[in-house]
Amino acid sequence: MLDQYKTVRSAGNKEIVIKKSRFIGHVMPVEREEDAIQFIEEIKKKHWNATHNCSAYMIGERDEIQKQSDDGEPSGTAGKPILEVIKHQGLKNVAIVVTRYFGGIMLGAGGLIRAYTDGAVAAIEAGEAITKVLHKEIKVELDYTWLGKVENELRNREIRTGPTAFADKVTLMCLPLDREAESFKAWMTDLTQGQSAITEGDKIYYIEGE
């Protein structure tokens, strides 16, 4: 799993008008190619009367899956520019559709490339680009006498935490960066003088800064 990657927060859409043609950029975060295909088909169904529904998506840790479609526009003037926007912004696991309603004025190849580029950028703005950072779940079980000190140290180090469980002992859900998990466990063992039980959990992505 990647330490971090950029994607979009949620589905979104935004419309721009270029020489009387309406371009509506739609974006969706996707984890699988099937999700991207379904998203594209849903947009095509919704905008069945549009002149074109051009699309591109890129999926995978190493961008293994990359597809594009000009949907009837001249070759290379729509799908490729959309895909290039995804690449240029460094996004992963994203699908974009740019819907065009023709306004009567021909744009030419260069104009189309710019228009679909702008439509893709508008879509990403609507979906909001974010960075997801990989964390590791680490449960720390300790006596209540350690709770105040440990919580204070976690706050000082700005380590993300989850829910706390209270029973005979207290269990803290700590969420350090995955790449710092080993050093975190060593630090916690030292901090509690070896009097804590540490258990590793899953790896999980969280949005940077939240």
pLDDT per position as a tens digit, 29-73: 999 999 999 999 999 999 999 999 999 999 999 999 999 999 999
**Thinking of the domain 134-207, which architecture would CATH place it in?**
2-Layer Sandwich (3.30)
Q: Which pLDDT does position 13 carry in this prediction?
A: 98
Q: Which pLDDT does position 54 carry in this prediction?
A: 98
Amino acid found at 99:
T
pLDDT per position as a tens digit, 58-115: 999 999 999 999 999 999 999 999 999 999 999 999 999 999 999 999 999 999 999 9
As a whole number, mean pLDDT of residues 201-208 equals: 97
Four-point Cα dihedral 145, 147, 149, 152, nearest 10: -160
Q: pLDDT confidence of 9, banded at 50, 70, 90?
A: very high
Q: pLDDT confidence of 177, banded at 50, 70, 90?
A: very high
Q: pLDDT confidence of 168, banded at 50, 70, 90?
A: very high
Name the CATH code of domain 4-127 (choices 3.30.230.30, 3.30.1360.100, 3.90.1570.10, 3.40.50.880). 3.30.230.30
How big is the chain, counted in residues?
210
- Round to whole Å and give the CA distance between 95 and 82: 10
Phi (first) and psi of residue 116, to 5 degrees: -70, -30
pLDDT per position as a tens digit, 119-166: 999 999 999 999 999 999 999 999 999 999 999 999 999 999 999 999
Whole-structure pTM value: 0.90
Distances (CA, A) of 33 to 30, 56, 64: 7, 11, 11
User: What residue segments make up the domains of the chain, in order of their start?
Assistant: 4-127, 134-207
Q: Which 3-state string (H, E, C) describes the chain?
A: CCCEEEEECCCEEEEEEECCEEEEEEEEECCCHHHHHHHHHHHHHHCCCCCEEEEEEEECCCCCEEEEECCCCCCCCCHHHHHHHHHHCCECCEEEEEEEECCCCCCHHHHHHHHHHHHHHHHHHHHCEEEEEEEEEEEEEECHHHHHHHHHHHHHCCCEEEEEEECCCEEEEEECEHHHHHHHHHHHHHHCCCCCEEEEEEEEEEECCC
Q: Which pLDDT does position 203 carry in this prediction?
A: 97
4-127 and 134-207 have identical folds: no
